[in-house]
Amino acid sequence: MFSFATPSVYQSSKCFVTYGVTSHLQPGQLPGKGKPWSALLAQDFIDLVLPEELLQVVKDKITGDPSRGPPVFYKVIMRLGQVLEGDFFTEYVKIGNIMMLSEGRVDSDNVFSLKEGILTMYLDKEAYERAGLVGKPHGVKGKRGSKPRWIVQFDLRDPSMLHGKKGFDRLIYACKNVLNRPLTWLFHELSKTPVPDPLSQYYPTKYTSNPMISECLSMKVPPLKPPPAIISSQNRMDLEEFVTEIYEWLSLVRLGSPRVDVDDKIDPYLSCYAVPGDMEDVRNEKLCRVSWQGFIPPQWCQQTLVDVILALPSKSWFAMSVTSFPKGIVGDSADCTILRPPNSSGEYFLWDIKKHD
């Protein structure tokens, strides 16, 4: 793993690059912990980029497979206190397994998330002080123009999180008297739906993340496999240059930028970007992009990666990128990209963008 140096004291993110080999995969069985699987957590936008001739394989074995289907999530209006009461709290939080995310921006609004029983609250200074909860400062230290923010967390599956217990009653008090505004939430259930469903009383709206397919993308494709000398010598500078250029190219493909189009003829005065690699090594190729957007669980992302690896020929290349919802300013979100180079025996590159406070 390589962690590139932070070029500025004001930058609050790092890019970790991993070059490795995937373990043997079994159909229908998710791999254990470890890279690249551990990077696919709580992502909400998925882009799969691959050669055009492999699109039919993806349609037949992944997007067209009725046994797994696209991810489904719900939008519902609830107060935070309603999440912590009645059958909803018992069946979904204590016994079941759900993901929830409230509306708002972490850098300015009071935002709440619930995952694996952990309730995380991002609060402004006024709400934090009025709620009387114990938390810690949150946000980039020394950032100009930003107001103090606080983060508070509760493990709602802890045995002490019950009515009559001091810590839980303090949380309920804060929900009734301070954090009592109805909010729009995204909801996804990771376990079996209880009967009757406690969510139904809040009139949820169902959404399905159907795949969006972009075909016949004529692109300039650089060499996607590093020269053997770079790997064998472990030359950090050469490897950093290679992975940075490939990540930039993949990002432009995901954005649909004309700079990587075969027919792009922009004046170099307006854009000096060039597809990396020598002129004779850059080839024209038709690509396709399959995208999913929504409140997508990590297990679905992991299963999709497994299915892609097992479905595509071992010598073909593909890139899968996953991005989470922005947590603060526009674009401030976690992102990871996995590239399997062509003609490789399970090798992969992983770009893991981490946001730091």
Core vs surface per residue 314-347: b (16+ CB within 10 A) or e: eeebbbbbbbbebbbeeebbbbbbbbbbeebeeb
List the structure tokens of 265.
């003829």
Cβ 198 vs Cβ 88: under 8 Å: yes
Short-list 1, 35, 69, 23, CA closest to 297: 69
pLDDT at residue 156, as a whole number: 95
Among 13, 8, 175, which Cα is nearest to 83's?
Answer: 175
The phi, psi pair for 202, rounded to 5°, reads -105, 10
Report the mean per-residue pLDDT for the chain. Answer: 84
Q: How confident is the model at residue 145 (pLDDT cuts 50, 70, 90)?
A: low
Rounded mean pLDDT, 176-188: 94
Answering whether pTM is above 0.85, one says no
pLDDT at residue 60, as a whole number: 86
Residue 353 scores a pLDDT above 90: no
The two tokens of residue 199 are 């969510």
79, pLDDT greater than 90: yes
What is the average per-residue pLDDT within 200-221? 93
Among 74, 71, 51, smallest CA distance to 62 is for 71
DSSP state of 148: P
Residue 352 pLDDT level (bands cut at 50, 70, 90) = confident
Where do the structural domains in the chain lie, given as residue ranges? 2-70+210-355, 72-208
Q: Output the pLDDT for position 326.
A: 57
Q: What is the per-residue DSSP string for 157-202? A: TSTT-STTSHHHHHHHHHHHHTS---EEEEEEE-SPPPSS-GGGGG
Q: State pLDDT tens for residues 237-259.
A: 888 889 999 999 999 999 999 99
Query: Residue 232's CB: how many other CB atoms inside 10 A?
Result: 8
Q: What pLDDT is attached to residue 285?
A: 93
List CB contacts of 70: < 8 A, sequence separation 6 or more: 63, 208, 209, 210, 211, 292
The residue among 330 and 328 whose pLDDT is bigger is 328
Would you state the pLDDT for residue 29?
Answer: 62
pLDDT band for 122, please (50, 70, 90 cuts).
very high
Which ranges of 18-124 would DSSP assign to H, the alpha helix? Answer: 55-58, 80-83, 86-87
Residue bearing tokens 């490939």: 246
d(CA 175, CA 130): 11
